[in-house]
Structure 1
Amino acid sequence: MPSSVTWGLLLLAGLCCLAPATLDEDAIQSASHKFMLNLADTAFSLYHQLVGPSNTTNIFFSPVSIATAFAMLSLGAEGTTRTELLEGLHLYWKEVPEAAIYTGLLNLLHTINEPDSEPWLITGNILFANLSVKFKDEFLKYVWELRHSDVFCLRFRDAKARSKVNDFIEMKIQEQDLDLFEEFDKDTTLVLVDYIVFEGLLEVKFEAETYVSEAFHVDKKTMKRIFMFRRSGQFELLHDEALSSWVLLQHYRGLGPTFLILPDAGKMQHLEAEVSQEHLTRIFHSMAARSASVYLPKVYISGTYDLKATLGGMGITKVFNDGAELSGISEGQPLKLSKALHEARLIIDEIVMDRSGARPSGKHRSNLLTVKFNRPFLVILMDKNFNIPLFLGKMVKPW
């Protein structure tokens, strides 16, 4: 049976070149589409790992970016290492051909990396490897085709290794003073950095009437006054009883719908436990415009995660251990993934002041439904083609 790397190379060479008896292109495309829908399970599984015991930390990540990064690694994995990667990320089912996994991921990555797309999106992977690692040519070719991943070789024991790694990441993300790595231990051989940065452009700008100082309640004991933008008008807004939450729908260029989900007071844990792909689909189809006065903080949210601990909670451990089966990546010495980091950032700066002067009167505004995003809320940005969470986060401290 062909290795996983060979499968990837065959796909990239063109599915039409494969014998019909071995692989049917229509069947692969159909199966890969069904498989992509299950990435929603990956999104919420990752969220539950990241939310942890803390209720005072912002969360923001891209489940698609993480899944594709480790699907890439699975191409060089064998045995239980590979099985853990695919099953832990909900990427493997007996009824779905293996090739459908990579076809689906390739299709998704193509749609979010279209060169003419309007949103500003930076996404990719970097593999940092010790100079002693001898990569296999077929693995390097595939990781470039899948995600245009960079491979950077250095001596981790050198005193300047840390600054070289941080400088390279800053250059790729176009951000200064990240300082993501403090040090490397003497056994470090392979480090994966997965990154994605999105600067959103609303299809219709949020034209605020004014901005006001409002109390943002992180929890019952923590409050801080922040500036919030206020607008009265028509919004895609509803209160969902099943989630005990207000849901505001927004639309960014190049993406599917974005859900801002504000739980009722004291209902965040209920929302986190109940929200699912099915809820989002139902809410989207039942949404209608209504008049309201909405208060929103400026949205800038980021997250940096050590994925070893996160994925360990999902049953993915062997790739990080001495027994890792990564013979498809390198020749010679045994190899394991020493560190894996995910960096995600969201910047929304499409709120402008309404200078038209056409504002509701005080009496009219007082009769409007008022929804204030003045306590922690969820942010879910959907992919436009597969309608799965591309980003998922929780805004706890909008400052």
Structure 2
Amino acid sequence: MKSIIYLLLCCVQINCYPLSGDQNNQDDNREDSDLKRKHPFLDKEDKKPTDYDKITSINVDFAFRFYNQIISGTADKNVFLSPLGISTAFAMLALGAKSETQVQLLKGLGVNLSEIKEEEIHEGFHYLLHNRPYAKSEVTMWTEPEVNIGNALFVEENLKPLPEFSKGIKALYEAESFSCNFSNYIEAEEQINDYIMNKTGGKIPHSVDRLDQTTVMVLVNYITFKADWKLAFDTASITEEDFFVDANRTVKVNLMSQEGYYKYLRDDVLSSWVVEIDFRGDGIAETYRDDITALFILPDEGKMKYLEGALLKESISKWVTFFRTSAYEDLHLSIPKFTISSSYDLKDIMEKLGVTDIFNNDADLSGINGERNLKVSKIVHKAVLDIRESGTEEEKVTTLWSWPVFHPVSSTPIIKFNKPYMMVILDKRINIIFLAKMVDPTEGGT
């Protein structure tokens, strides 16, 4: 009989954890796999894999396919997720998948195995996680955006994963490993929840529950993000104003406003305004290197569904390319101060994306423990984000680089995010770290 893997994805933290039951005796003398032979990229520090750009393209396409599946059931609700975190978690799980189960997982991510090899996928994620902005850099004179991606494996004391799997997730994804006594599932939940709470700064204090004595493994992937706006909003500028949720309902929100230099554009095809809001980078003022930026997308009234249906990788690429070469312009900008959180059961979504075998007795996750006795029963995605005057965390800004503001003779354009909008936080390679839709800023959770 198949054991069960309970898979949890937690984003801004993403927790991907497997659960299963009966285990056959393991061979203590399994030979170590030659990871350097299978993944020669690990011997080549800082060298960009040949197919790395394909990984970026895959991640962006996956972000919108995943988002569209979520909104199909929550059209008029806030949405917040970390596509990069989800894809990283499933890529790790694919290390332990075999045969059709592995093919489904990779196809679910949008991978065409006729165009890119399986090992090149892992090498691409390895390169991504070991370079800016995800790799830790030296301390500079400026506060840098902090994206912390981490992975961990909690293993039942009596279960011995295959050396190839254990070493693979450590070498490629830098996953920490911990022994866990799942027979005392209450203490196991506490151990894992404490780990996640510590790694996420307390943002997700309770992420794992309803484990039982059949649990044998918990695979965790989390992402945290902390950054200061390059142009912080003045607390004194915050005013209570109307936010137009729809034609029939308005709510009161704290709107942060200021006049400053921003990059923005009008996309007539998508009937939307797009504003790039920079986070503080590193280096001296003249040589800012912005590895992460936020795009705030404001569709015209009644055009949100049209925007969601038409927004593609090409749209994001077009905007980013334009902003890279365009000049900063004077703008009066207003955005709500809010906290957004989300929790989704993603089993149905993954099945709609063609990932079905991992949930039934056809699952082949023998790359984890050498036995075909594991399957996934549930996938949950959790996310939390704070947007406030200083940036993405409630911390006071003590030192700030600001662009000088000169008031032109003509009136300054005004863009006010006082109706439903979208937000994309992405890196300079256009990997989408976070993707959100704000329908009602007063509703923090979904």
TM-score of the superposition, structure 2-length normalised?
Answer: 0.75
Distance in 2 (alpha carbons) for counterparts of 1:368 and 1:213? 22
Distance 1:138 1:99, change over 3 A: closer
- Give per-residue Cα distances to partners, 1:344-382, cap 9 Å, x unaligned: 33344426799x9x9999x989x4332211122111112
CA shift, 1:144, in A, is: 1.6
Distance in 2 (alpha carbons) for counterparts of 1:163 and 1:104? 34
State the match for 1:63 in structure 2. 83
- Give unmatched runs, 5+ long, in structure 1: 18-24
Percent identity at matched positions? 32
SS of residue paired to 1:124? strand
Distance in 2 (alpha carbons) for counterparts of 1:193 and 1:339? 14
State the match for 2:190 in structure 1. 163
Answer yes or no: is 1:220 the counterpart of 2:247.
yes
- Give per-residue Cα distances to partners, 1:270-314, cap 9 Å, x unaligned: 111011111122223345443332211125433333332332221
**Which amino acid letter does the alignment assign opposite residue 258 of structure 1?**
A
- Give per-residue Cα distances to partners, 1:133-190, cap 9 Å, x unaligned: 3211221111122222234433266444433432332122221663223413565444
CA shift, 1:226, in A, is: 1.2
Answer yes or no: is 1:280 the counterpart of 2:316.
yes
Answer yes or no: is 1:379 the counterpart of 2:423.
yes
**Which amino acid letter does the alignment assign opposite residue 137 of structure 1?**
P
SS of residue paired to 2:259? strand
Distance in 2 (alpha carbons) for counterparts of 1:78 and 1:169? 29
Distance in 2 (alpha carbons) for counterparts of 1:280 and 1:176? 29
- Give unmatched runs, 5+ long, in structure 2: 1-31, 139-143, 282-289, 392-396
**Which amino acid letter does the alignment assign opposite residue 319 of structure 1?**
I
Which of 263, 267, 271 matches 1:236? Answer: 263
**Which amino acid letter does the alignment assign opposite residue 302 of structure 2?**
G
Distance in 2 (alpha carbons) for counterparts of 1:181 and 1:151? 17
Q: Residues 139-218 of structure 1: matches in 2 within 5 Å?
A: 139-152=165-178, 153-155=180-182, 158-175=185-202, 178-184=205-211, 187-207=214-234, 210-218=237-245
State the match for 1:100 in structure 2. 120
Q: Residues 293-304 of structure 1: matches in 2 within 5 Å?
A: 293-304=332-343
Q: CA RMSD in A?
A: 3.3
Bigger share in helix:
1
State the match for 1:115 in structure 2. 136
Distance in 2 (alpha carbons) for counterparts of 1:176 and 1:98? 34
- Give per-residue Cα distances to partners, 1:98-157, cap 9 Å, x unaligned: 332122111111124321272233322344444453211221111122222234433266
Q: Residues 346-361 of structure 1: matches in 2 within 5 Å?
A: 346-349=385-388, 350=390
Distance in 2 (alpha carbons) for counterparts of 1:148 and 1:344? 22
SS of residue paired to 1:328? helix
Answer yes or no: is 1:268 the counterpart of 2:268.
no
SS of residue paired to 1:38? helix
**Aligned positions, number:** 382
SS of residue paired to 2:130? helix
Answer yes or no: is 1:74 the counterpart of 2:118.
no
Distance 1:36 1:158, change over 3 A: closer
Distance 1:278 1:181, change over 3 A: same
Which of 264, 289, 294 matches 1:258? Answer: 294
